[in-house]
Structure 1
Amino acid sequence: MQNYDELVRYIEKYIDGFANVKSVTHCATRLRIQINNPSKVNIDKLKAHQLILGAVFRGNELQLVIGPDVPKVYAIFSQELDKTESDPSKRDTSEEIKAKKSLKDYGEIIVDFISGTFVPVLPILVAAGLVSAVLNIAVTFGGLPTKSGTYTILNAVNNAGFYFLPIFLGGSAARKLGIDSMMGMFLGAILVSKSIDGIANLSFLGMSVPQTTYNTTTIPVILGVLFMALIDKGVDKHIPKEVKFFVKPLLVILITVPITLIFLGPIGSELGNWIAAGLSFMYEHLGWISVGIMGAVTPLLVMTGTNQALFPLVFAMMAKFNYDSFVLPGMLAANTAIGAAALAIFIQEKDANKKALALSSGITGVMGITEPSIFGVLINYRSAFLGAMAGGGIAGVFAGLVQLKQYAVVSPGIAAIPTFIPTDGSGLNSNFWFSILTILIAVIGSFTFTTVLARRKVRKDKVAKANASMKIFAPLSGKVIPLQSVKDEMFSQKMMGDGLAVEPITDTVCAPSDAVIIMTTKTNHAIGLRTDNGVELLIHVGIDTVQLNGQNMQTMVKEGEHVKKGTVLLKFDSEAIRKAGYELTTPVIVTNMNDGHNVFSQTVQDEVSCGDYLYSTN
C-alpha cells in the first residue's frame, strides 16, 4: 500500500511549502498545482520520487504525474492546503502581486482555463458515456426492453450526464475563476430549465431573447460564467459588508442572466456550431490525413497539456452529430499506440524497476490513460516516443479512411470499445470492428517501430561504448575459444574473471596493450599485467602447465617493468608441451572486474593474429 501522506509531505518540502501554492486541481493522472513562485520549486527532487512518474511546468502550473491514484493524493494535498489557506499570515502573495503586473502568455491562460474547467467534469462524462455503451449492448444483445424500469433508470443516468452538462461546467468554471461555484451551477441550471431551454418568443424588459438550446452545450455557460466573474468582482468592491451576503448574489444573477440569454448564450451556441462546421470542413478537405495527424501528435499534446483544449471541439461535434469522427478516433489510435510503446520497452528493458514501470503504465495506456506512459516511459526513451507517434499516425490514417466514429465522450482505449457501437440499435456494425482494427494497427505498429528503434539504439550504444572503451588485443595467434569451453572450471565458470581464450599456433606471447608487469611465475606459465587504464589482465598459457615446473617455457620480462603493446612477454615450445600431454588453450582474462572493468564486446573472428582486436572492457 502506497504512503500518500508521506508523498504529500515530500511534495510540500520541494515546492517550498503550501504557502507557495495558489490552487490545486487534478485530472485523470496528474496533480496540477498553481505555484506562486516557480523558482522556489525543486523539480529535479520531485522527479526523483518513486511515486512521481513525471514533473513539468506549464507557466506557473506544476504538473505531477501520479497515475490513477491521483484523487487520493489530491484529497490529502487539499486538506493540508486548506489548513494553510485558513491562516492568511502563512500565505506568500509577493509573487502573486508581481504576476498581476506582468504580461502573460494568453495562449497558456486559455489552455489552463479550459483544462481547469473541463477536467473536473470528466468523471461524470466517462460514467455517463460508459453507461450509454452498456445500455446499448444490453438492448441490442441482451434483449433489455426499452420500456422496462431498468432501461428507464440507466437511460436517465446517461441523459443526465450530458443534458445537465451546463450545470457541471458552470460550477467548474466558476471555481476555476475564483468565484462561488454554486453561482456558476445556478446559471447553468437556469439555462437548461424547461422554461428557457429552446423556448421561442421570449423577451426580457421588452428585449427579444433569441431561441437557443442550451442542454448538452458547453460554450454558452462558460461565456456566461466569465461575465459573471467580472460582475462578481466588481460588485464585491462596492457593496458594504453588512448587506453583501444577500445583496451580492442577487445583483450578480440579475445582471448575468439577461446578458447571457440575450447576448452571450446565443453567441456561444453559434460559436459551437462554427467549431463543429470547421472540424467538418477540415475533415471533408483533409479527410483521413487529419485523423492521422491527430493520432501522431497526441503524445506531444498530452505532454504540453494542450490536449485538454480539444474538449470544446469534441462537445461541439457531439452536440451537432451525436458522434465524433475526428478527435476521439485519432486519440484511440494514439492512446493504444502509446501504451504499446511502453510495453515494448518493458520487453527490451533489463532494469527491474524500469520494467515494472513500463508494464504498469503500458497497461493503463492501452486502456486509455496515457500520462504514466508518456511521463514515465516515453519521455525517457526516444525510440518509444517515435514508435508511438508512428503507430498512432498509421492507425489514425486507417481510422480516418474508414470514417471511424465514437458515440460517447470517454477517454479512447480498449476500455472504451463499447462506445464505438452505434446508439441507433444497429448492433456490431462495421464501425465497431473498425475500432478493433484501429487498436490492432496502433498496437502492432507502435510495438514494432519501438522495438526496431530500441534495438538499433542498443547497437549504436554498444558501438559508441566500444569506441570509448579499453580494447584488449590478442597476445598470441590462434583460434578464438569462448571461456566457457576451456577445460578448467576455474576459467570456464569465470571464477577468476571474464574474457576469451586462444588456442595458439605460434610460440610467443606478446603484450596485448601498453601495461606494467604486476606478476610473473617461477614456472613461467602465466603472467599478470595492469594496463595504463587500470585493467588487470592474466594470460595463462595452457591447462595445468604449472606441473611442467617451467620446462619448455621462458619469461622475457620482469615484474614492475613497463611494456609496450606487442612486446614479447613469454616464449614456449608448443610442440614439446603438447607431446608431454598438455593442452595449450590460453585464457586471457580481466581479473579486477569488481573495479567496474567488465567485458562487454568481443571479436567475431574465429581466428586472430597477435595484435588483432580480441575484446573490450570499460
Structure 2
Amino acid sequence: MQNYDELVRYIEKWINGFGNVKSVTHCATRLRIQIIDPNKVNIAKLKAHKLILGAVFRGSELQLVIGPDVPKVYSIFNQQMANNGENKSKPSDGSIEKQSKPQKNVKDYAEIAVDFISGTFVPVLPILVAAGLVSAVLNIAVTFAGLSVKSGTYVVLNAVNNAGFYFLPIFLGGSAARKLGIDSMMGMFLGAILVNSSIDGVANLSFLEMSIPKTTYNTTTIPVILGVLFMSLIDKNVDKYIPKEVKFFLKPLIVILITVPVTLILLGPIGSELGNWIAAALSFMYEHLGWISVGIMGAVTPLLVMTGTNQALFPLVFAMMAKFNYDSFVMPGMLAANTAIGAAALAIFFQEKNADKKALALSSGITGVMGITEPSIFGVLINYRSAFLGAMAGGGIAGIFAGLVQLKQYAVVSPGIAAIPTFIPTDGSGLNNNFWFSIVTIAIAVICSFMFTTFFAKRTVSSKKIAKANASMKIFAPLSGNVVNLENVDDEVFSTKMMGDGIAIEPSSDMVCAPLDALIIMTTKTNHAIGLRTDSGVELLIHVGIDTVELGGKNMETLVSEGEHVKKGTPILKFNTNAIKKAGYRLITPVIVTNMNDGHDVFSQTVQDNVECGDYLYSTN
C-alpha cells in the first residue's frame, strides 16, 4: 500500500509549503496545483519521487502525474492544507491574492484559456463517464438480455443516463464558477435556470419588452460557460461596492438579476450558435479531409496529452454530440491513440531489464489501453523516444482506419478497451459494424504500436551500442590462443567475476604482450600475473594459468618493472608452456577489468573463437 500521506508532505516541502498554493484540483491522473510563485517550486525534486510519474508547469499550474489514485492524493492534500490553515485563497470565495503580474503575451493567454477549459470540464468527467457507461450497459441489456424498455429497471437506468447529459449546464456552471473563483452554487443556479422547462427551448419569450431568442440549453456547454464568465465579472465588481452589512443577501440578488437576462438575450444564443459553428467546422473538416483528420488526431494525441491541450477538445466533442448524438472525429481518433499509447508502454515492459522500470511500464501500459494515458505518457513515453514514436505511428495508422470506416462513439467516455460498449449505437440496433470496427481499431493500434515501438527500441539499443563501442577503449589480445568465456574458467574467483569481467584465452604461444599502451602497476615475485593501468584509468589484470602461483616463479619470467610505461605489443611476460603443463597446471589466462566499480564496464566481446596477439578482444568505457 502506497504512503500517500508521506507523498503529500514531500510535495508540500518542494512547492515551498501550502502557503504557495492558490487552489488545487485533479483530473483522472493529475494533481493540478495553482501555484502563487512558480519560482519557489523545485520541480526536479518533485520528479525524483517514485510515486510522481511526471511534473510539468502549465502557466502557474503545476501538474503532477500520480495515476489512477490521484483522488486519494487530492483528498489528503486538501486535508493537510486545511489542517495547516495556509490556504490563503480558496476558489469558492474568490479571494485570490493580488500580486504584481508581468505583462502577458499571446502564449500566456492561450495557456489561461486551456487551463480554464480543462479546469471546468475535468471535474465533470466522472458524471459523464458514469452516464455514458450506463447508456452502454443499457444498450447491451436491451439488445442481448431482453430488458423491456417499459420495465422499471430500464426507466431508472435511462434516467441516470439522461440526467448526466440533460443537466450538464448545471454541472458545468458550478465547475466554471469554482474555477473562476466565485461561488460555485451561483454557477449551478444559472445552469438550472437555463434548463428549466419554462425557458429551455421555449419560443416567444421576452424580458422587459426585449425578445429572448428560442434556444435549447440542455446538453449544451458553451452558453452556460459564457454566462458564468459574465457572472464572474459582475460578481467581482458588485463585491467592491456593496456594504458588507447587506452583502450576504443583496450581492447574489444583484448578480443573478443582471446575469440571467444578459445570458438569455445575448450570451446564451451566441454560445448555442457558436456550438453549432464548431460542430459544422468539424463536420466540414471531416467531410473534406475525411479519414486523414481522424488519423491526424490519432497521431498527435500523445503530444496533446503531454501539453495538457487535449482537455481543450471537450467543447468540440460536446458540440458534435449535441448535434449528431455521436462523435466521429475526436473520440475515435483518441481510441486509436489511447490504446496505442498503452501498447507502446507494454512493449517497453518486454524490452526493459530494470525491474522498477518494467513494473512501471506494465502497470501504466494496462491503464493506457483501458483509456487513461497520462501514466504511460509521463512515466514511459517521455523517457523512451522509441515508445513515443511507436505510439504516434500506431495511433495514426489505427486512426486512419477509424476514419475510413467512419467509426462513431455514442457516449463521452475516455476511449479505450473499457469504453468499447459506447460504440454500440443507442437506437437499439445492437452490435452492428460500428462496434466491430472499434474492436479492429483497437487491434490495429495495439499491434502497430507494439511492433513499431519494439523496432525503434531495438534500433535505439543497436545505435547506442555502436556509439558506445565507437567511444570506448578497445582491449586487444595479449597473447594468441583460443577464446574462452570467463564463466567457463575452472576457478570460482574468475568464473563468478569476483575480481572483474573480461575474457580468458587458452594460449597457443608462450609470450604475453601489452594489450594497449599502459602503465605497469603490479608485478609478482611468482611471475604469474601482471597488472596495467591505461591513461583513462582502466585497470587490467592478466593472470597466466590457474594456481600457477604454486610454481613459485619457475618456468615464468616477468619482462617489465612496476612504474614502467609500455606500448601496445611490448613483450611483458613469457613462460615455458611444456614445462608448466608437464607440472600439471593449466595455462588458461583470464584478461579482466578489475576496477568495474569505477564505471568501467566490459561489452562488445569478440565473436572469434581464436585470436592472435594484438587482435580485438573486448571494449570498456
TM-score by length of 1: 0.95
Q: Structure 1 81/559 Cα, relative in aligned 2: closer, same or farther at 3 Å? A: closer
Instruction: Report the equivalent of 1:312.
Output: 315
2:541, 2:183 → 1: CA distance? 79
2:379, 2:595 → 1: CA distance? 36
Deviation of the 1:221 alpha carbon: 0.8
Instruction: Report the equivalent of 2:474.
Output: 471
Structure 1 unmatched runs, 5+:
none
1:438 aligned partner, one-letter code: T
Deviation digits for residues 380-402 of structure 1 (CA, Å, limit 9, x no counterpart):
11111111111111111111111
1:27-176 aligned at under 5 Å gives the runs 27-82=27-82, 84=85, 96-99=98-101, 105-176=108-179
Structure 1 residue ranges (4+ consecutive) displaced by more than 6 angstroms after TM superposition: none
Structure 2 unmatched runs, 5+:
90-94
Match 1:207 to one of 205, 210, 213: 210
Deviation digits for residues 214-258 of structure 1 (CA, Å, limit 9, x no counterpart):
110001111111111122222222222222222221221122112
Instruction: Report the equivalent of 2:14.
Output: 14
Match 2:359 to one of 348, 351, 356: 356
Task: Indicate conservation of the 8 Å contact 2:22/2:35, yes or no.
Answer: yes
Q: Structure 1 580/19 Cα, relative in aligned 2: closer, same or farther at 3 Å? A: closer
Q: Structure 1 509/190 Cα, relative in aligned 2: closer, same or farther at 3 Å? A: same
1:315-394 aligned at under 5 Å gives the runs 315-394=318-397
Task: Indicate conservation of the 8 Å contact 1:342/1:358, yes or no.
Answer: yes
Deviates more, 1:602-611 or 1:168-177: 602-611
2:99 aligned partner, one-letter code: I
User: For 1:99, what is the secondary structure of its paired residue?
Assistant: coil
Instruction: Report the equivalent of 1:243.
Output: 246
1:486 aligned partner, one-letter code: V
Deviates more, 1:294-303 or 1:12-21: 12-21
1:476, 1:85 → 2: CA distance? 73
Deviation digits for residues 358-414 of structure 1 (CA, Å, limit 9, x no counterpart):
111111111111111111111111111111111111111111111111110000111
2:549, 2:249 → 1: CA distance? 103
1:154, 1:559 → 2: CA distance? 88
1:272, 1:376 → 2: CA distance? 36
Match 2:537 to one of 528, 534, 539: 534
User: For 1:97, what is the secondary structure of its paired residue?
Assistant: coil
Q: Structure 1 96/454 Cα, relative in aligned 2: closer, same or farther at 3 Å? A: farther
Equivalent pairs, count: 616
2:216 aligned partner, one-letter code: T
Deviation of the 1:601 alpha carbon: 2.4
Q: Structure 1 593/281 Cα, relative in aligned 2: closer, same or farther at 3 Å? A: same
2:295 aligned partner, one-letter code: G
1:50 aligned partner, one-letter code: K
Q: Structure 1 177/521 Cα, relative in aligned 2: closer, same or farther at 3 Å? A: closer
Deviation of the 1:490 alpha carbon: 4.1
Task: Indicate conservation of the 8 Å contact 1:540/1:587, yes or no.
Answer: yes
Instruction: Report the equivalent of 2:223.
Output: 220
Deviation of the 1:577 alpha carbon: 5.0
1:337, 1:203 → 2: CA distance? 52
Q: Structure 1 243/577 Cα, relative in aligned 2: closer, same or farther at 3 Å? A: closer
2:551, 2:69 → 1: CA distance? 71
Deviation of the 1:202 alpha carbon: 1.6
User: For 2:323, what is the secondary structure of its paired residue?
Assistant: helix
Q: Structure 1 514/100 Cα, relative in aligned 2: closer, same or farther at 3 Å? A: closer
User: For 1:602, what is the secondary structure of its paired residue?
Assistant: coil
1:593, 1:161 → 2: CA distance? 62
Task: Indicate conservation of the 8 Å contact 2:21/2:87, yes or no.
Answer: no
2:100 aligned partner, one-letter code: K
Instruction: Report the equivalent of 2:92.
Output: none
Deviation of the 1:575 alpha carbon: 5.1
Deviates more, 1:412-421 or 1:597-606: 597-606
TM-score by length of 2: 0.94
Match 1:261 to one of 249, 261, 264: 264
1:381-530 aligned at under 5 Å gives the runs 381-530=384-533
Deviation of the 1:551 alpha carbon: 5.0
Match 2:601 to one of 590, 598, 601: 598
Deviates more, 1:162-171 or 1:95-104: 95-104
Q: Structure 1 33/521 Cα, relative in aligned 2: closer, same or farther at 3 Å? A: closer
Deviation of the 1:582 alpha carbon: 5.2
Deviation of the 1:529 alpha carbon: 2.6
Task: Indicate conservation of the 8 Å contact 1:53/1:65, yes or no.
Answer: yes
1:476 aligned partner, one-letter code: L
Deviation of the 1:451 alpha carbon: 1.4
RMSD: 2.3
Match 1:180 to one of 180, 183, 188: 183
Deviates more, 1:595-604 or 1:187-196: 595-604
Task: Indicate conservation of the 8 Å contact 2:19/2:87, yes or no.
Answer: no
Match 2:589 to one of 586, 591, 598: 586
